[in-house]
Structure formats: structure tokens, C-alpha cells
Homo-oligomer: A and B are copies of this chain.
Amino acid sequence: MTKKILVTNDDGVMSPGLLALVKEMRVFGDVFIMAPDRNWSGGGHVKTLDRALRVREFRLEDGTQAFASDGAPSDCVSLAVLGYFKEKFDLVVSGINFGANLGHDVTYSGTVTAAMEAVIADLPGVAFSLELPEGHVGPLDFSASAYAAHIVIQNVLEHGLLPEILLNVNIPYLKKEEIKGFRVTRQGLRVYHSRLDERVDPRNRPYYWIGGDAPTGVPETGTDVGALSEGFISVSPLQLDLTAYRALSEINTWEWEDASEN
């Protein structure tokens, strides 16, 4: 049976990264597209409940029918799986994002949180992000990313994903033939270099940019950051259970006064 695949992203429906992913997904089944009408990078895991959402039809560069919503990437997934398309989906993929989503990026990332939303809807979700070379200008080469998407989705369709698990895939910015292969990794450590940049507007009122250098990472072997730095495609299984199990027993020994005895 043909698979029904939902494609979304967080850079917006116009992104060439979305088109690259759509083209690769067509190999596996029928593709439906619901993506934000603007960039939502760093937008987090959003559930828009206080306003209604609009959806409009859109055509990708190659003429493919797509739908653009004014919601976040996770809202796009909700719209699609709750019935906009009147289809039962088999898979949700998100990307290909401009810029890696490594370490602590995952809860900020619209690309990754769209895949989280898929998992909450009981569907396999996979996020794809391409490392952006610093200072890069001009069109990006998505051939390594398309290759990564092909191998990963082939595996997901063959083996399935455990419930509650999504995949966060990051691709180094290398030519396809330079890629060393795949590494199944754990989430590594991002190092943010944020700095507050205070400026004054023409009316003499202050405003504040969250500025500073781009985040770096600790390139430890076995992590997503490490895999990319060594030229591998990183595949990290993530879960939505954030419980810090290792902390439970210690916190249990704290003084938890019994309120009923007060």
C-alpha cells in the first residue's frame, strides 16, 4: 500500500529545503505538504489555541501543490493530522532545515518540535537539518541531505519507530561523496554564546537584541555534535519523556513535610 507522508518545515513553505525533502519522499509514497507561511526558526513547540488558523494553497517552485498556514510548524502538523487533508498519514517528516539542530537546540527548534507533534499524534516523526557553513551565501547543495533522507526513511518504513520516539537527523555540509556515513548518536552539548545587545531607537528608547556569536558545540564522540564534526550524518532517537530518572531517588530523600500533619 502506498504510504501517505506529510511534509512540513520551520523555514516556511517557500524554502528550497522543503522542496528537496518533498522530492525524496515521493519515492516512498503520496506526499502532502502543510508548512508555515513564514520562518518560525527558534519558535519552539507551539500549540495555537487562542486564535484561529488560516490555510492557503501554494505552489512549490516545481508546481507541486502545497498548503501554507499562519501557524507554527507544530500547528501545521495538527492541522494536517486532525483532518485538513481527510487522510490517515503513515509518517511525518520535517525539514530540510537551514542549519543544524544539535544538543539543546531540540526544544527550541520548529523542525524538531514538528516531529514531536507527530509523535504526540501517534505517528512516526523525523526531523532533517542541514549544517549551515558559516557565512554561506547562495543556494545550498541538498544532495547529501536527500541521500540522508532516503536512507533514514527507508529504515523507518522497514523497521518502524518505537512509540514515543522521533528521529533528529543532522547532515554535515559536505558533498555527498565526502560524507563518511551514518552515526546513531545521543544528544550532545550545545554551547550558546548569547549576549544582550542594548540599543537606542530614534526616539531615545532602549531596545534589546539577543545577540552574540553563533552557538558552537562540544564535539564529543557518540553525540550529534561529534558526528557532524567528524563528517557523519547524525541520527538521534529522541523521546518526549523528559523525566530525569537518575535524580528521582535523591530528590525523594529531601524533606517533604507532610502537609496533613501541619
Contacts and interface: CB of A to CB of B under 8 A. Distances in A.
Is chain A's interface secondary structure helix, strand, loop, or mixed overall? mixed
A159 B253 CA distance: 10
B155 A254 contact: yes
Contact of A180 (B106, B192, B235, B259): B259
A165 B251 CA distance: 11
A180 B260 contact: yes
A181 interface: yes
A137 interface: no
B44 A46 contact: yes
Interface stretch (A13-21, A24-32, A48-56, A89-97): A48-56
Interface of A: 39, 41-50, 52-55, 72, 74-75, 78-79, 82-84, 104, 106-108, 113, 116, 120, 147, 151, 154-155, 158-159, 161-162, 164-165, 167, 176-177, 179-182, 184, 186-187, 192, 194-196, 199, 205-210, 233, 235-248, 250-252, 254-260, 262
